[in-house]
Amino acid sequence: MKKWSLNFRIWHWVHAAVVLGLLGTVFLRKTFLSWRTNSELLTQKLSEINLEVTAEQAKVLAKAIRAPMWEWHIILGYALAVLLVWRIILFFTQSGKQNYQNLKEETFHKKMVKLGYIGIYGILLFMAVSGLIIHFYEALGLTKDGAHDIKEIHELVFNAVLIFVPLHIIGVFVAENQDEKGILSDMVNGGKK
Distance CA 139, CA 25 (A): 25
Contact 161, 27 (CB under 8 A): no
Predicted model pTM = 0.86
Domains plus CATH for the chain? 6-189 (1.20.950)
- Judge whether 164 and 115 are in contact, CB under 8 Å: no
Task: Give the pLDDT score at 74.
Answer: 96
- Average pLDDT over all residues of the chain: 90
pLDDT tops 80 at residue 99: no
In the chain, how many H helices and how many E strands? 7, 0
2 CA to centre of own chain: 28
Residues above pLDDT 70, as percent of the chain: 98
pLDDT above 90: residue 185: no
**What pLDDT is stored for residue 79 in this prediction?**
98
| Residues 6 or more apart whose Cβ sits within 8 Å of residue 13 | 187
pLDDT, tens only, 135-145: 999 999 999 99
